[in-house]
Amino acid sequence: MNAPLPGPLADNPSLDRWLAFPAPGKVTVFTGRVEFGQGVLTAMAQIASDELDVAIERIAVVSGDTALTANEGYTAGSLSMQGGGMALAQACADVRALFLAQAAAIAGCAASELEVRDGRFLRNGASTGQDYWTLAGAIDLTVKASGIGARKPAAERKMIGASQRRLDLPDKVFGAPAFIHDMRLDGMRHARVVRQPHRGATIAAIDEAAIRRAAKAPIEFVRNGNFLAILGDDDVAVEAAAASAATHVTWSNVERPTPLQQEANWLLQRPSLDRVIGSAEPADAQGRERFEATYTKPYLAHASLAPSCGLALYRDGRLTVWTHCQGVFPLRAALARTLKLDPSFMTVIHVSGAGCYGHNGADDAAADAAVIAMQKPGKPIRVRWRREEEFVYEPKAPAMVVKVRALLDKDGKPSDWTAEIWSGNHNGRPGGGNPLLAGEALPDQVPLPPAGEVPEANGGGATRNAVPLYDIPASRIIHHLVHETPVRVSSLRGLGAMTNVYALEGAIDELAERAGADPVAYRLSILSEPRARAVIEKAAAMANWQADAPAGTGVGRGIAFARYKNRAGYAAVVVELEVEEEIKLRHIWCAADAGLAINPDGVINQIEGGIIQSASWVLKEQVRFDNGVAAIDWDSYPVLKFSEVPEIDIELINIRADGPLGVGELTAGPTAAAIGNAVAHALGARIRDLPLTRERIMAALLKS
């Protein structure tokens, strides 16, 4: 009896969607997961190397191509190894079993008498004359995976679990073409879109002559409804023309977001779709020992270092699109809706971009290029967004308000927990039926899908990590999905987990203080899950945690913990910082149990990146509105700098576990909350609104 196939393999069972033997000594691995700096392709090569018994140098990885790879939806949710990695592992194991059976038949022995060494089949250590490549012609890889192949036992793995250098890093260190931005196709033309301020805004007037003067080189206009693009052979000219269009194109029916709307609390007054997940709130809450506090997080930007870029070519009735988006199949479906084109006439191919950390402008830039390419067939069209365009038009991570209400037992421990959440959705991706920006401007608009949020089965969006993992007899989430937001919103690393963990781990700290207990001891007193306890104990030990450190000294320490999605990886973070007018991070320690680490060094790199990005969000980041999105560049949206990054120590627990649990989003919540808790310890007063600005520090000091 074979084990059930990993989900992506069950969805895409044909083995030729996972690997091929294209030439003697060569293996091509296909993965629907895509690289954006997390090292996923290297990990896939490691998996295939072990499961096939082929040297990693022989393996090339092809990723995210609708013509070649499996449809694995989005590369998101810290699921690449759990889903796609384990699917590839089983596909390789099945292929290995098919080849072993064939080699055994030829050798006239049982498959169990053969071993595979770097792709060659040996019997009693001697060559059988057969290898993957001699047999490849005789074996049909269009057959379906069955789970017949046994996965490599842990003790025999050589590559899985061993730190491996990233395959993509040399190109990036030597300045080779490494990104979609570096693609240069024959006859390629450059384009920029004059962005519609929002759905429903209409072009009132275009001063074409003024824009042509600004371009200083020949340009042409491409117009369809309220979709307006500038096209030319010179990238500098189209950039200058697009920049000038801000003053030379006027729009009607424009509503711009206001400073009032930028605050998370604005959400409290808005219409929402409401639901309760879990039991009803107890009716007798009044009069009982209770705790209540409200935490907020503002709109955030992905702030990818590279503005989004897309290329498209429409030729001979076929559309090819190159994109750095997180899901080529969902993008193809969205492009089909936008362009009214059968997806079978379209190929969407992933090419690396800069780190995106969620749904940024990548899909929309690809759609821009596709719309222009359809109107200008025959030549490749390259659209590269301007920096301001990326900041203003990429989807934002939604602002959130989280109210925590807890009832306490006689020992000051929570006996009932409510998280009441107000948020826009974290689900604006085109795969959910949401329109691409270009599609909103075209005459025949794609209708908006019904308001929705990431389902609980996928870990939830705004509700992600809202319920504590602690031993609390009753808990619930009251979720207000604010379906109309002042700006487009979607997913950013961890979705709602950062805000929810900031709130709940802040609340737990407040409860510990109220109970007169040490934050580490208090957590351990209400937490029975062994793997959860282990990371807290480990992080506290790494930091040499002192239970009785006095509060309010200007130097503080805080701890926070979460199990991502309450079902994936575990992480505990300890932060030491000092506060005067601003916060200076001194040291961060993290203990993580992310299960099996395919590439331990890669796991640590991802965790460290997640810590630093979360620290940046909490200390510095907010998208402000002022007659429009006011975050337009790195001055108006500063992020953490080299001199502001603390020393960070990370230890992994359980890296030989059965399966991987995911790492990319593991530390978003615990880092944010540990910083908040350390600030509270340093100040003797808590700041419940993010980011932790100088104004809020001064206000907290005045209160304390």
Partner 1 sequence: MAIDFTVNGKPVSVSLDNEETPLLAVLRDRLGLVGTRFGCGLEQCGACTVLIDGKPEKCCAKPAWSVAGKSVVTVEGLGSAERPHPLQQAFLDLQAGQCGYCLSGILVAAKALLDENPKPTRAEIAAALDGNICRCGSHNRILKAVEKAAAMMQGARA
Give the shortest CB-18-to-partner 1 separation in angstroms.
26
How far apart CA 316 and CA 310 sit, in angstroms, is 20
- Show the tokens assigned to 274: 């409401």
Give the shortest CB-32-to-partner 1 separation in angstroms.
19
User: Where along the sequence are the contacts to partner 1 (CB under 8 A)?
Assistant: 36-39, 165-166, 168-179, 181-182, 184, 216-217, 234-237, 239-240, 303-307, 352-355, 357, 384, 386-387, 601-602, 605-606, 608-613, 616, 633-635, 639-643, 645, 647-648
Phi, psi angle pair for 497, to nearest 5°? -60, -40
C-beta of 372 vs 640, nearer to partner 1: 640
C-beta of 11 vs 235, nearer to partner 1: 235
Burial 655-666 (b: 16+ CB within 10 A, else e): beeeebbbbbbb
C-beta of 471 vs 582, nearer to partner 1: 582
Of residues 488, 445, 447, the one with CA closest to residue 227: 445
- Which strand (E) or helix (H) includes residue 331? helix 328-339
C-beta of 175 vs 530, nearer to partner 1: 175
The β-bridge relationship of strands 189-194 and 474-481 is: unpaired
Give the shortest CB-526-to-partner 1 separation in angstroms.
31
Give the shortest CB-675-to-partner 1 separation in angstroms.
14
C-beta of 150 vs 639, nearer to partner 1: 639
C-beta of 32 vs 39, nearer to partner 1: 39
Give the shortest CB-233-to-partner 1 separation in angstroms.
10
Q: 648 CB contacts (<8 Å, ≥6 apart)? A: 587, 588, 589, 590, 608, 611, 612
C-beta of 182 vs 255, nearer to partner 1: 182
Contact 29, 62 (CB under 8 A): yes
Measure the N-to-C terminal CA separation of the chain; round to a whole number of Å: 65
C-beta of 118 vs 171, nearer to partner 1: 171
Of residues 626, 592, 587, 595, the one with CA closest to residue 607: 592
C-beta of 68 vs 178, nearer to partner 1: 178
Give the shortest CB-230-to-partner 1 separation in angstroms.
15
Question: Peptide bond before 691: cis, by omega within 30 degrees of 0?
Answer: yes
How far apart CA 667 and CA 413 sit, in angstroms, is 25
The counts of H helices and E strands in the chain are: 18, 24
Q: 635 CB contacts (<8 Å, ≥6 apart)? A: none
Contact 164, 48 (CB under 8 A): no
Give the shortest CB-583-to-partner 1 separation in angstroms.
17
